[in-house]
Structure 1
Amino acid sequence: MSTAQYPARVRLIDVGPRDGLQNEKQPVPAAVKIELVHRLQAAGLTEIEVTSYVSPKWVPQMADNHEVMAGISRQPGVRYSVLTPNLKGFEAALLDRPDEIVVFGAASEAFSQKNINCSIAESIERFAPVVDAALQAGIAVRGAMSCTVGCPYEGEVAPERVAMLAGLMKGIGVQRVDVADTIGVGTPLKVQRAIEATAQHYGLDTISGHFHDTYGQALSNTLAALQMGVWNFQSSVAGLGGCPYAKGATGNVATEDVVYLLQGLGIATGIDLDALVDAGAFISQHLGRPSGSRVARALLAKRAS
């Protein structure tokens, strides 16, 4: 098979420090989070989602956002992003000078209500002033579009819903978007349809894939997106994280597994797989469990032998 159909390079955003750790029950010290970010950038990651500015009442794990952002030794050429759920969160984030903020919306009305207690339209209205403030401050804006292929409450999500959400995000000034399979039910054709719907409003350079591996389809879905020319993806070191609102959702695809796939396709990532495996082993050891990455487990076992 020719690899001419695939992008020559891929940019990965590691969401482990934020999306990966946010629902961990045991507190993860700020020093460990900072070390994880340092290890990820040392491994060659040029985009890292570091923390979020949500109420500590709802997400206690992210209460140390200022400490973590202040403790990072920033590298030139690395983009540090943070999640900001509202204007209050953005104003707190502004103190820490992130390179990019992330706002979010769902392609499912039921998920929007369960997740953030408002309709899709209301969520976009809520984010409009946040996006505006960020752009005025010279901070980039990314929009996470959740449940683009399936919802735990509504079931299958039609591509028209995805196109509508992408249009709403474009309308408030969001510069690039993530097509997220939040509960990991997507298969390649469904994912391609969701990307096609998004491409009605965004160019392929501004669309990224964010696939969960609940049904073991994340790498297949990555391949399907690559075949369409998508070259930005989100993943989480050691497969950290999941979705607290989706029963049975195992979480993000592991960055190590995606890098191994891309290397096998001859696609450049700029990432050192061995150093990445070490970063995943570091955080997994702290959490007291094996890495969620199959590639990492295989390589660590090979090293041990």
Structure 2
Amino acid sequence: MTVPMQGPTAGRPPIEGLPREVRIHEVGARDGLQNEQATVPTEVKAEFVHRLAEAGLTTIEATSFVHPKWVPQLADAAELMPLLADLPGRYPGVRLPVLVPNERGLERALELGVREIAVFGSATESFARANLNRTVDESLAMFEPVVARAKAAGVRVRGYLSMCFGDPWEGPVPVAQVAGVARRLYEMGCDELSLGDTIGVATPGHVAALLAELTGTGTDGSGPAGGGTVPVERTAVHFHDTYGQALSNTLAALQRGVTVVDASAGGLGGCPYAKSATGNLATEDLVWMLHGLGIRTGVDLARLSATSVWMADRLGRPSPSRTVRALNRQEQQQ
């Protein structure tokens, strides 16, 4: 007989200086499913988002209003959003942001009543060309009217910045270069910036250095430093787990005041324009660590894990999340 494990917070002392609460920005339905070879039916996507909300996630990035030619897996955005219209009423506080690449994408999103969008920029020229077919300056110029129109309509705007730590074509990316582009997005009017380790090459020291440069705090999380202008409260992190560093990088960010962390249920995702990008940080692995540190998330880990098992069954493969596998194995043994 297997003795059930206690919850991850049982008997585990927290680390001093960490935030008491973290908001998880769930990206599985968008960033996760966009990388699938086969197209997931719209009804399955809708149920996936509903199950994520039921598990306690309050920010669930639903889809992307890009041209179907570029991301065919998300071509059903206009059909999906009405199937999610009941969520804010059923789960007060639930937010359903969507990615928009340009003004046309914004128009489509606004027509469907979307109240939160994201734009997706690059810290490097190579990836800006690969992903947007533009230079960094040209892509920022494209985002300016999108952000301005969204803000005028009372819509919240998030700015994603990819390749913040390494680029498959250019190699390591200088901290000052990343911070410079990030500041431009913030000054454009973005309410929140998500710093992306798109190919998963970051390590904790690199994370600390970038946050110090961007937010103006020392690498130990306290005291003034060079750079600055972007408050840490407006900063999120988005790690991929290519080299198994996503959780250690997240902890480094938490120690420097970050309270918003992107993650993908079951570890789904990658990037269709960067082939070396593997899966995102699994939301379950993140929740296990945060709860073990005594940090509140509002997420029911058991329900979330069951949701990822459910989605993995529909995708025809097991979840790569270690926590999902461990909890599922434990359940089967009881």
TM range (shorter): over 0.9
Alignment of 1:80-91 (within 5 A): 80-91=96-107
Bigger mean CA deviation after superposition, 285-294 or 70-79:
70-79
**2:299 corresponds to:** 271
**1:252 Cα deviation from its structure 2 partner:** 0.4
Contact in 1 for aligned 2:66/2:100 (Cα 8 Å): yes
Distance (whole Å) between structure 2 residues aligned to residue 27 and residue 147 of structure 1: 26
Partner of 2:68: 56
> Counterpart of 1:29?
41
Higher alpha-carbon deviation: 58-67 or 207-216: 58-67
Give the superposition deviation at 1:273: 0.1
Tell me which residue corresponds to 1:137: 153
Count of residues in correspondence between the two structures: 305
How far 1:27 sits from its partner (Å)? 1.3
Q: Which amino acid aligns with 2:329?
A: A
Distance in 2 between the 1:111 and 1:171 partners? 22
Please report how far the alpha carbon of residue 2 of structure 1 lies from its aligned counterpart in structure 2 after TM superposition: 5.6
Q: Write the distance in 1 (CA, Å) between the matches of 2:229 and 2:238.
A: 18
**Partner in structure 1 of residue 238 of structure 2:** 210
Deviation per residue, 1:169-209 (Å, 9 max, x gap): 02211111001101000000111222223322321111001
Structure having the higher Rg: 2
Q: Which amino acid aligns with 2:66?
A: V
Q: Sequence identity of aligned pairs in percent? A: 50
Shift of 1:167: 1.6
Equivalence for 1:92: 108
Alignment partner, residue 22 of structure 2 = 10
CA RMSD of aligned residues (A): 1.1
* d(CA) in 2 for partners of 1:27, 1:246: 19
TM superposition outliers: structure 1 runs of 4+ over 3 Å: none
Post-superposition offset of 1:25 = 1.4
1:138-217 residue pairs with structure 2 within 5 A?
138-199=154-215, 200-217=228-245
The letter of the residue matching 1:249 is A
Matches of 1:108 and 1:94, distance apart in 2: 30
**One-letter identity of the residue aligned with 2:189:** G
Could you list the runs of 5+ residues in structure 1 that have no partner in the other structure? none
Query: 1:30-73 deviations in whole A, cap 9, x for unaligned?
Result: 10000010000100001000000001111111111011110012
User: What is the match of residue 20 of structure 1?
Assistant: 32
Contact kept? 1:103, 1:142, Cα under 8 Å = yes
Decide whether the 8 Å contact of 2:176 with 2:213 is kept in 1: yes
TM-score by length of 2: 0.89
CA distance in 2, matches of 1:157, 1:140: 29
Q: Specify the code of the residue in structure 2 equivalent to 1:278.
A: A
2: CA distance, partners of 1:190 / 1:64 = 38
TM-score by length of 1: 0.98
CA distance in 2, matches of 1:138, 1:147: 29
